[in-house]
Amino acid sequence: AHSAEMMAMNSTFGADASFNAGMPNASMQGGYGRPAARMPTSQVEHPKEQRFSPYENNGGTCLALAGADFCIVAADSRLSAGYSILSRTTTKVGQLTSKCCIASSGCNADQVTLHKLLKFKLQMYQHQHGKELATPGIGQMLATTLYGRRFFPYYTFNVVGGLDENGEGCVFSYDAIGCFERLKYTVSGTGQALIEPLLDNLVDYKNTDKKPTVARSLEETLELIKDIFASAGERDIYTGDFVDIHIITKDGTRYEQFALKKD
Amino acid sequence: MTLIHLDDDYLIWRSFDFQNYWRNEILSIQKKIFFSIKKTGTTIAGIIFKEGLILASDTRATNEEISCDLNCEKIHYLAPNICCCGAGTSADTESVTKSVSNHLELQRLSTGRESRVQSSVSIIQRMLFQFNGLISAALIIGGYDFLGAHIYSIHPHGSTENLPFIAMGSGSLASTAILEKFFNNNMDINSAKNIIKEAVLAGIYNDIGSGGNVDFCIIKKKTLEFERNEKKQNFKKTSGYFFHKKDSIRIRI
């Protein structure tokens, strides 16, 4: 359809060897070396398919960060549609087991359903095996669940964080159809491009020469995450309102809420 | 400068020249090059009270989904007694208001009289209609001339309205709701300022295209006061982070 439109434009000016990329023929002069304005006066229409789209991006940012013996999973709580705020207090973080949390941004409907589905599967595992599924196993299970819908994906950008069997922090990041990787930290959602470089520098000390000798404690990491979300909330219009922070340690999961700007 | 040069420029200016618009269409279709324009997804409002009028705006400028300017100025100067709030594409509102403010100054020098609000509205309306809505500037013009206080709204295609209170921009629905509920004729300055501040704040909190602080412009018979950042948002204080210097760049091959 596009080439047909270009051909139509060609015939308006006359086929010419110097006709380049559909631009007006530069050799037609009018006034002081300016090409004459001989474009068609009506807009060129080509057929447009109108269709219902089952997907909608409701915005939001999710973050997971692993420490030596803890893991923090955080997400903002704003639900948006277009330029409106639908809710300031939605939950994007789901607690799957006592040692694992999942946070998803993207389409809210898909996120809610996916979290429900994972909880069903984990309950079934618990009944069949008499114990909770460990975090690396949950990571694998989510990947297979997402790939099961390869041709009508869940429009969610997930991060899974928790403690593995050895008690170390463990973070998995996913794309929409289930490609996953175990990492030390990850971000997903509308604020990803704003936060990821910051984490690269401050958590992984990439592109620096001096690395501090002492690793960050849990409290320092918590302060870091609050500052990061405050900065992302300033610049990203879809991030704001509150941050739900789940802190997973060997003693269980602690919940904290941090207020962001509401504009 | 020869006369011919002037005439040719004048002729080119007077005809509809949509070349860049067509160039942009072709680039986006054939070469898949898309220009992202800085928009002020905005809340602007104007209200008339007993002694004059107040214009107010938020201060966020967005580039698609990131706010690229957290404290930009949306209230522009047109004349010593006229101000203009602009919503829509930033470049368009800036260039339209600059060109009209220069035009009005020349008019004032040539006639020796103060500018009238209606004349600035007519000039802008004519220009916007000529460009067929392609200049995406939605403006609220307010001023106090010898006929009294007026506010006009101008839409990108060139239609104008003269009303006692107006809100424009993406947050205009939230603002208009507040203005409709609380507006009265012949208010005093404090209640008018409160009402318009609440209207712009409604836009700031309920519309994600608007945010930041509130700016005011209060125009009375002989005075024009510009209050910038009347409401400051709370900024979280941090202890600060130390970003280590890079002495050399290491490339892993």
- Please write the tens of the pLDDT for every residue from B112-146: 999 999 999 999 999 999 888 888 899 999 999 99
Specify the pLDDT at position A49.
Answer: 81
Give residue-wise pLDDT tens across range B83-92.
999 999 888 9
CA distance to A3, A23, A30, B111, B144, per residue, from A39 (Å): 17, 10, 14, 41, 44
Whether B40 is catalytic is no
B18, B234, B248 ranked by CB distance to A39: nearest: B18
User: pTM of this prediction?
Assistant: 0.78
For B151, the token pair is 């506010």
Specify the pLDDT at position B123.
Answer: 95
Residue A227 has φ and ψ, to the nearest 5°, of -65, -40
Tell me, what's the ipTM?
0.75
Name every chain A residue with its beta carbon within 8 A of the beta carbon of B66: 194, 235-237
The DSSP H or E segment spanning B87 is strand B82-89
Q: Report the alpha-carbon distance of residue A249 to residue A246 in Å, rounded.
A: 10
For A78, the token pair is 């704003």
Count other C-beta atoms under 10 Å from residue B20's C-beta: 9
The gap between the terminal CA atoms of chain B, to the nearest Å, is: 60
Given a cut of 50, whether residue B229 has pLDDT beyond it is yes
Q: Report the alpha-carbon distance of residue B19 to residue B113 in Å, rounded.
A: 39
The amino acid present at A199, given as its one-letter code, is L
For B116, the token pair is 């009238």
pLDDT band at A32 (very low <50, low <70, confident <90, very high): very low
Taking CB atoms and an 8 Å limit, are A34 and B12 in contact across chains?
yes
**Proportion of chain A in helix, strand, coil states, percent, rounded to 5:** 30, 30, 40
Instruction: List the one residue out of B237, B70, B61 whose CA is nearest residue A230.
Output: B237
Q: What is the mean pLDDT of residues A12-37?
A: 43
Name, in order, each residue with C-beta under 8 angstroms of B23's C-beta and a sequence gap of 6 or more.
Answer: A23
Taking CB atoms and an 8 Å limit, are A83 and B207 in contact across chains?
yes
On whether any CB of chain A is under 8 Å from the CB of B12, the answer is yes
Given a cut of 50, whether residue A78 has pLDDT beyond it is yes
**Angle at B191 (CA atoms; ends B187, B195), nearest 5 degrees:** 105
Lowest mean pLDDT among B88-92, B153-157, B243-247: B243-247
Mean pLDDT, all residues of chain B = 85
Q: What is the mean pLDDT of residues B223-240?
A: 70
Given a cut of 80, whether residue A262 has pLDDT beyond it is yes
Specify the pLDDT at position A47.
Answer: 74
Q: Report the alpha-carbon distance of residue B223 to residue A142 in Å, rounded.
A: 65
Given a cut of 80, whether residue A3 has pLDDT beyond it is no
A69 to chain B, closest Cα gap in Å: 23
Taking CB atoms and an 8 Å limit, are A31 and B16 in contact across chains?
no
Side by side, the strands of the sheet bearing A252-259 are: A185-189, A61-66, A71-76, A242-249, A252-259
On whether any CB of chain B is under 8 Å from the CB of A26, the answer is no
Coil/strand/helix, residue B233: coil
Specify the pLDDT at position A212.
Answer: 79
**Range with top average pLDDT, A170-174, B58-62, B131-135:** A170-174
pLDDT band at A23 (very low <50, low <70, confident <90, very high): very low
Instruction: Please return the burial class of A221, using the count of CB atoms within 10 Å of its CB with bins 0-12, 13-18 and 19+.
Output: buried
- CA B88 vs. chain centroid, Å, equals 7
B2, B40, B42, B160: the catalytic one is: B42
Lowest mean pLDDT among A16-20, A179-183, B12-16, B99-103: A16-20
Specify the pLDDT at position B113.
Answer: 94
Lowest mean pLDDT among A182-186, A258-262, B65-69, B135-139: B65-69
Name, in order, each residue with C-beta under 8 angstroms of A20's C-beta and a sequence gap of 6 or more.
Answer: none
A102 to chain B, closest Cα gap in Å: 25
Q: What is the mean pLDDT of residues B23-49?
A: 80
B113/A205: higher pLDDT = B113
On whether any CB of chain B is under 8 Å from the CB of A8, the answer is no
Q: What is the mean pLDDT of residues B223-228?
A: 90
Query: Do residues A243 and A90 make contact, with C-beta atoms less than 8 angstroms apart?
Result: no
For B87, the token pair is 């919503």
Q: Report the alpha-carbon distance of residue B176 to residue A58 in Å, rounded.
A: 25
Taking CB atoms and an 8 Å limit, are A263 and B211 in contact across chains?
yes
Q: What is the mean pLDDT of residues A166-183?
A: 95
Q: Where are the beta strands (DSSP E) in chain A?
A: 29-30, 34-35, 61-66, 71-76, 79-81, 84-87, 93-97, 100-106, 156-163, 169-174, 180-183, 185-189, 242-249, 252-259
Query: Do residues B232 and B198 make contact, with C-beta atoms less than 8 angstroms apart?
Result: no
pLDDT band at B20 (very low <50, low <70, confident <90, very high): confident
Query: Do residues A92 and A64 make contact, with C-beta atoms less than 8 angstroms apart?
Result: no
**Best B20, B65, B246, B250 residue to mutate vs chain A (most A CBs within 10 Å):** B65
pLDDT band at A99 (very low <50, low <70, confident <90, very high): very high
Q: Report the alpha-carbon distance of residue B82 to residue B106 in Å, rounded.
A: 15
Dihedral angle sign, alpha carbons of residues B11, B14, B15, B18: positive
Count other C-beta atoms under 10 Å from residue A14's C-beta: 9
B118 to chain A, closest Cα gap in Å: 32
For A225, the token pair is 């995450």
Strand pairing category for A100-106 and A252-259 = unpaired
Specify the pLDDT at position A24.
Answer: 43
Q: What is the mean pLDDT of residues B1-11?
A: 48
**Best A61, A87, A237, A243 residue to mutate vs chain B (most B CBs within 10 Å):** A237
Taking CB atoms and an 8 Å limit, are B206 and A85 in contact across chains?
yes
Name, in order, each residue with C-beta under 8 angstroms of A128's C-beta and a sequence gap of 6 or more.
Answer: none
On whether any CB of chain B is under 8 Å from the CB of A201, the answer is yes
Nearest CA in chain A to B200: A263
Residue A249 has φ and ψ, to the nearest 5°, of -130, 180
Given a cut of 60, whether residue B19 has pLDDT beyond it is yes
Q: Report the alpha-carbon distance of residue A94 to residue A202 in Å, rounded.
A: 27
Specify the pLDDT at position A35.
Answer: 47
